[in-house]
C-alpha cells in the first residue's frame, strides 16, 4: 500500500461546550498525496477548517479527538505532545488564515515575523534568516522587499498582507500548505492575484495544498480533488470533474444549482436549498442533510448512508444509489 502524505481515518472530534457536546467531525476519512491540491467546500460549521487544523494538531481546548487517526508525513499527530507538534508546525505543514489583518502581529515588523519561523526551525544565523526573508518576499511578488521587511503590517494593503502570510508559511518549504479561505476577505481582482500566486508556488516548490473555501468557482479552477463537507461529514469526494459533472449527493447538486453563473445568457430563477444548516448540538438521526433534501426517503431519516464508491476515487454518502439499483432490478421503490 502506498503511503499518503496525509491520511485521516475515521476521525471524530467533539467540542465539549457548556451547552453540550458539539460533534464537529463525524467519521471523517480523507487522504492527500504529495503535490496534490485538495479542495474542501462546505458551509460555515460544516467542519472544513477543523478537519484541516487537526493535521497540525490544532484542536484547541474544548475540542478533543474522540476517535480515529491522523497521519501526516509519517507522524501520528493524534498521539504527539505539544512539544513535538511545534517542531512540525511551520516546518512541514503551514497554514494561511482567512483574515490577514488579524493573523499578523501589529507590533512586529514584517521581516521579524518571517525570520521568526526560519530561526525556530533551521540553524540559520540572523543574517541568513534576514536574507531568506527578503528572498521570500520577492518570491511572493512584493516589490522593494528590502524596504518592506522593515515595515509594519498596518502599512500594507490587504492583498500585500496576505502575500506576507504566504511568505511566512513558505519560510521552511513545507510539504503541505493549508489555505483556509485565503481570499474571502479580499477583493475579486486581488483574489485572482493571490490564487495565481498559490498556483505558481505550488508548481515551483512541489508542495501539496489543502484549499478550504465556500466558493465553488475557486475550487473548480485550482483543485485536483474536492471533498464536500456537511455537518461534520464528508458527503462526497472525488476529482474536480466528478464533483462538477457527475455529482451524486443531493447536497453537492444543490450547491451547484444555487450559484448564479456569470456566463448564463439569460437569468433563470435560482434553485435554493431550502431550510437552514443543521444544529450540531442535536444532529438528526440518519443523514444530516435529509431534512433539506429534495429527494429524501424514509430510510434517510433513520439511517446514515454508508460511503458508496462510484469509482476508485469518487465516493458519496447517499442512499439514492441503492434506490437506483433497486429500480434497475425492477423492484418497487421504498
Partner 1 sequence: MADRANLVEVRNLKQYFQVSGKNFFKKDCVKAVDDVSFSIPRSSTLGLVGESGCGKTTTGRTLLRLYEPTAGRIVYDGEVIFDSGDVPLYDEAGNPVTDADGKPVYGKKTRANMLPYRRKMQIVFQDPYASLDPRMTIGEIVGEAIDIHGLASSREERHEKIIRMLERVGLNSEHANRYPHEFSGGQRQRVGIARALAVDPEFIVCDEPISALDVSIQAQVINMLEDLQSEFGLTYLFIAHDLSVVKHISRRIGVMYLGKLVEMGDSYEITFHSCHPYTKSLISAIPIADPETNRHTHRIVLQGDIPSPVNPPSGCRFRTRCPYAEKRCAEEEPAWKEVSPGHFCACHFADSVR
Taking the complex as a whole, the smallest distance from the CB of residue 258 to partner 1 amounts, in Å, to 4
Minimum distance from CB of 85 to partner 1 (Å)? 31
Q: Does the footprint of partner 1 cover residue 271 (CB under 8 A)?
A: yes
SS3 assignment, position 127: helix
**Is 19 among the residues that bind partner 1 (CB under 8 A)?**
no
Q: Residue 77 or 235: which CB sits closer to partner 1?
A: 235
Q: State the angle between helix axes of 158-170 and 126-139 in degrees (0 to 180), rounded to the nearest 10.
A: 130
Is 274 a binding residue for partner 1 by CB under 8 A? The answer is yes
Per-residue binder mask for partner 1 (CB under 8 A), 148-187, x = binder: ---------x-xx--------------------------x
d(CA 325, CA 293): 20
Q: Given candidates 10, 261, 295, 311, which one binds partner 1 under the rule CB under 8 A?
A: 261
Distance of CA 99 to the CA centre of its chain: 15
Give the separation between CA 88 and CA 80, rounded to whole angstroms. Answer: 10
As measured in angstroms, the least distance from the Cβ of 254 to partner 1 is: 7
199 near partner 1, judged by CB under 8 A: no
Residue keyed to cell 515551483: 204
CB of 210 to partner 1, least distance (A): 17
Q: Which is nearer to partner 1, 125 or 157 (CB)?
A: 157
Rank residues 25 and 293 by Cβ distance to partner 1 and give the closer one: 293
- Residue 239 CA to residue 303 CA, distance in Å, equals 27
Q: Provide the angle, in degrees to the nearest 10, between the axes of the packed helices 110-121 and 158-170.
A: 10
Residues 220-249 that bind partner 1 (CB under 8 A): 220-221, 240-241, 244-245
Q: How far is CA 192 from CA 79, 100, 183, 186, 279, in A?
A: 39, 16, 9, 10, 34
Out of 2, 61, 81, 189, which residue is the one contacting partner 1 (CB under 8 A)?
189
- For strands 93-96 and 308-309, give the pairing: unpaired
By rule CB under 8 A, what string of x and - marks binding of each residue 114-153 to partner 1? ----------------------------------------
Q: What's the CA gap between 245 and 224, in Å, rounded?
A: 14
Q: What Cα–Cα distance (Å) separates residue 235 from each residue in 40, 41, 198?
A: 11, 11, 27
Residue number, 84 or 200, with CB nearest to partner 1: 200
Minimum gap (Å) between residue 5 Cβ and partner 1: 23
Q: Does 100 interact with partner 1 (rule: CB under 8 A)?
A: no
For position 2 contacting partner 1 by CB under 8 A, the verdict is: no
Q: What is the DSSP string of 29-98?
A: EEEE-TT-EEEEE--TTSSHHHHHHHHTT---TTEEEEEEEEEETTEEGGG--HHHHHHHBTTTEEEE-S
Q: At closest approach, how far in Å is the CB of 283 from partner 1? A: 16
Give residue 36's Cα distance to chain centre: 13
Q: Residue numbers of the site for partner 1 (CB under 8 A)?
A: 43-44, 157, 159-160, 187-193, 195-196, 214-218, 220-221, 240-241, 244-245, 254-256, 258-263, 265, 267, 269-274, 276-277
Amino acid at each position: 500500500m502506498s503511503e499518503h502524505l496525509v491520511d485521516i481515518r475515521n476521525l471524530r472530534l467533539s467540542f465539549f461546550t457548556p451547552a453540550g457536546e458539539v460533534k464537529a467531525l463525524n467519521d471523517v476519512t480523507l487522504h492527500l498525496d504529495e503535490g496534490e491540491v485538495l479542495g474542501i467546500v462546505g458551509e460555515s460549521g460544516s467542519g472544513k477548517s477543523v478537519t484541516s487544523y487537526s493535521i497540525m494538531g490544532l484542536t484547541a481546548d474544548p475540542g478533543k479527538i474522540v476517535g480515529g487517526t491522523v497521519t501526516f508525513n509519517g507522524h501520528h499527530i493524534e498521539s504527539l505532545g505539544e512539544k513535538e507538534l511545534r517542531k512540525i508546525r511551520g516546518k512541514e505543514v503551514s497554514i494561511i488564515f482567512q483574515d490577514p489583518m488579524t493573523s499578523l502581529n501589529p507590533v512586529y515588523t514584517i521581516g521579524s515575523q518571517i525570520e521568526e519561523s526560519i530561526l525556530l526551525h533551521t540553524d540559520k544565523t540572523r543574517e541568513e534568516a534576514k536574507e531568506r526573508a527578503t528572498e521570500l518576499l520577492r518570491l511572493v511578488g512584493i516589490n522593494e522587499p528590502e524596504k518592506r521587511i522593515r515595515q509594519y503590517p498596518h502599512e500594507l494593503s490587504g492583498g500585500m498582507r496576505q502575500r506576507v502570510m504566504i511568505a511566512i508559511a513558505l519560510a521552511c518549504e513545507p510539504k503541505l500548505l493549508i489555505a483556509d479561505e485565503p481570499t474571502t476577505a479580499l477583493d475579486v481582482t486581488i483574489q485572482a492575484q493571490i490564487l495565481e500566486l498559490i498556483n505558481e508556488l505550488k508548481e515551483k516548490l512541489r508542495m501539496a495544498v489543502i484549499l478550504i473555501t465556500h466558493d465553488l468557482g475557486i475550487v473548480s479552477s485550482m483543485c485536483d480533488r474536492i471533498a464536500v463537507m456537511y455537518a461534520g461529514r464528508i458527503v462526497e469526494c472525488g476529482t474536480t470533474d466528478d464533483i462538477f459533472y457527475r455529482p451524486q449527493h443531493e447536497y453537492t447538486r444543490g450547491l451547484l444549482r444555487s450559484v448564479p453563473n456569470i456566463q448564463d445568457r439569460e437569468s433563470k430563477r435560482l434553485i435554493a436549498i431550502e431550510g437552514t444548516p443543521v444544529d450540531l448540538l442535536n444532529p438528526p438521526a440518519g443523514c444530516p442533510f435529509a431534512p433539506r433534501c429534495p429527494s429524501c426517503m424514509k430510510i434517510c431519516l433513520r439511517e446514515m448512508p454508508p460511503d458508496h464508491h462510484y469509482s476508485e476515487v469518487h465516493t458519496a454518502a447517499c442512499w439514492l444509489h441503492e434506490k437506483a439499483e433497486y429500480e434497475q432490478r425492477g423492484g418497487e421503490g421504498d
